[in-house]
Amino acid sequence: MVFVASDDALTVPTAVKIVIAGGFGTGKTTMVGSVSEIPPLRTEELLTEAGVHVDDLAGIEGKETTTVALDFGRITISPQIVLYLFGTPGQNRFWFMWDELAHGAIGAVVLVDTRRLDASFPSIDFFEHRRIPFVVAVNCFDGAQAYTVDEVRGALDLDPAIPVVLCDARDRESSKSTLIGLIRHSMSRLEHAAR
Partner 1 sequence: MSSREDWWYDEAAGPLVRPYAMVRGRTRPVTRELHLVTQVRAARQTQTADLTSLNVEHRELLEVCRKPLSVAEVAAYLDVPLIVVKVLLSDLIERGDVIVQDVSRISEIPDRDLLQAVLDGVRGI
44 contact, one of Mg ion, partner 1, ligand GTP, none, CB 5-8 Å limit per kind: partner 1
- Decide if residue 122 touches ligand GTP (CB under 6 A): no
- Decide if residue 109 touches ligand GTP (CB under 6 A): no
List 24, 52, 60, 154, residue binding partner 1 (CB under 8 A): 60
Helix/strand/coil for 126 = helix
Taking the complex as a whole, the smallest distance from the CB of residue 106 to ligand GTP amounts, in Å, to 20
List 108, 112, 152, 179, residue binding partner 1 (CB under 8 A): 179
Helix (H) or strand (E) holding 165: strand 164-167
The answer to whether the beta carbons of residues 164 and 152 sit under 8 Å apart is: yes
Taking the complex as a whole, the smallest distance from the CB of residue 59 to partner 1 amounts, in Å, to 7
Give the residue with the Cβ less far from ligand GTP, 51 or 90. 90
- Decide if residue 54 touches partner 1 (CB under 8 A): yes
Specify the stretch interacting with partner 1 by CB under 8 A; choose among 21-29, 56-64, 116-124, 159-167. 56-64
Q: Bridge partners of 16?
A: 83
The closest of 164, 107, 106 to 140, measured between CA atoms, is: 164
Helix/strand/coil for 11 = coil
Positions that interact with ligand GTP (CB under 6 A): 22, 24-30, 87, 90, 139-142, 168-170
